[in-house]
Amino acid sequence: MQTHITTTPFGRRSMTLGQIASQATAKAMPKEAIANKWQVFQHVREARELVGATDRALAILNALLSFHRETELSAEGELIVWPSNEQLMARANGISPATLRRHLSVLVECGLIIRRDSPNGKRFARRSRTGEIEQAYGFDLSPLVARAEELRDLAEVVQAEKKAFRVARERLTLLRRDIVKMIDAGLEEGVPGNWGRVLQTYQGVISRLPRTASRQLIEDICAELYELHAEIRDVLESFTKTQNPNANESHSARHIQNSNPDSIFESETGSRKEKEASGNAAETDNVRSLPKRDLPLSIVLDACPNLRETAQSGEIRHWRDFVAAAELVRTMLGISPSAWQDAREVMGEVQAAIALAAIYQRADQINSAGGYLRSLTDRAREGKFSTWPMIMALLRAKLDEGKQRQTTENATSEAGPRLEVSDSLLKSLRKRNPRP
């Protein structure tokens, strides 16, 4: 059996204290130490970030383990493998020689293998007359046996962290879903409350959540959302307690419709005959003559720039971002989920979002956004509505406003500076030039 001795790397490679520590750890392991090589490799793969290994380094380690014939790595057995670079590259999916050398160094620095270089740098094994290995030069796998328990503990730490991260994300998803649906329920049932403020608070918390967030940040945001969740739930529960438990749904609907006329809610049924809804919808009578292609996103954003302000990331690049912003606008306008769902089913998700963006752009001119949207939905159901006229009208209004502003600025610049004359000077001029 080979005697493990401390060796320094061959060639220009220098010796480090970390390599000495790895050799000392391997030398101090008990003789009865044993480990399953593939189980240890699995632990290394799970804890690779804590260990400091790379993906390519793991591929090379997997190749090195494949050159060890036994599945069990034993301190009393032969733990040195001596494959050539060509053999390693072949089993490591054909990586280049430079990549092989670089990631072999990573494995050494991580303390997963030890170089046992021969005097001339070659890898080989010297056998006795009976065929037993007397001395081998190559890569020593003993650190994997010596650190088997440590690597298992690191893998368990990583697994626990992943589980905690997964639980935090699940909690975040549930809180977000509950809050949005409870806000919708409050709007749908006419529960008195400043739901616009609640929605702004929710969006303010969510806007701090990046695409890739740490577990700690997710847990902090979950704590804030939980407080908001409890506040909304208390409001809804308090409202249900004030209702007659024997009342049916129609009675409840009448009560909600007639309560708190100054709240953010609306009576959508009575508002379908609003003048602005019927008047503006008249522009869509000749739908058949309109273009059949879809509206480009850039044109819609030019016509409805106010929607950009509600985007979570402050930017709308795709239709999915546009629809998400429309969802937020729908709640801000006090449009019930049923009206929005009806519009999406009739018009389609994107077309309904475009119509909602146009309504939001003209929110100061529309008394009932929900009634207006239901009116447009009814016309779309009859095939008499298209979003093209709405967007073109907004673009024309924007263009006319720009031309008017430019005309005013030109007139001001051509008029030149005005001469300010004092009252005393005017009196003096009148005395010198009396009127005939």
pLDDT confidence bin for 121, thresholds 50/70/90: confident
Beta bridge partners of 133: 127
The 10 Å Cβ neighbour count of residue 421 is 9
What CA–CA distance (Å, rounded) separates 143 from 264?
A: 69
Residue 39: partners with Cβ closer than 8 Å, 6 or more residues away:
none
Q: What is the pLDDT of residue 238?
A: 84
CA dihedral 405, 410, 413, 416 (to 10 degrees): -120
- The per-residue pLDDT for range 236-291, each reduced to its tens digit, is 888 888 765 554 444 444 333 333 333 333 333 334 334 333 344 344 445 544 55
Average pLDDT estimate for 387-392: 85
Angle at 14 between CA 12 and CA 20, to 5 degrees: 150
Q: What is the pLDDT of residue 336?
A: 87
Distances (CA, A) of 395 to 155, 283, 299, 390: 59, 15, 9, 9
Average pLDDT estimate for 330-339: 87
Q: Where are the alpha helices (DSSP H) in 333-368?
A: 337-347, 349-361
What CA–CA distance (Å, rounded) separates 291 from 330?
A: 27
Query: What is the domain partition of the chain in residue ranges?
Result: 17-146, 161-240, 270-412
Evaluate whether 62 touches 41 at the Cβ level (below 8 Å).
Answer: yes
- The per-residue pLDDT for range 187-205, each reduced to its tens digit, is 888 788 777 788 888 888 9
Q: Which of 2-16, 173-187, 396-410 has the lowest mean pLDDT?
A: 2-16
Separation of CA 209 from chain center: 8
Evaluate whether 136 touches 125 at the Cβ level (below 8 Å).
Answer: yes
What CA–CA distance (Å, rounded) separates 268 from 345?
A: 18
User: Token pair of 257, please?
Assistant: 């419709």
- The per-residue pLDDT for range 280-320, each reduced to its tens digit, is 434 444 554 455 567 888 888 888 888 888 876 667 888 88
Evaluate whether 216 touches 364 at the Cβ level (below 8 Å).
Answer: no
Residue with tokens 């997963």: 112
Does the pLDDT at position 411 exceed 80?
A: no
CATH number of 17-146: 1.10.10
Q: Which of 277, 239, 265 is nearest to 331 (CA)?
A: 265
Does the pLDDT at position 231 exceed 70?
A: yes
Evaluate whether 181 touches 81 at the Cβ level (below 8 Å).
Answer: no
Burial annotation 296-312 (CB, 10 A radius, 16+ → b, else e)? ebeebeebbeebeebbe
Does the pLDDT at position 425 exceed 80?
A: no
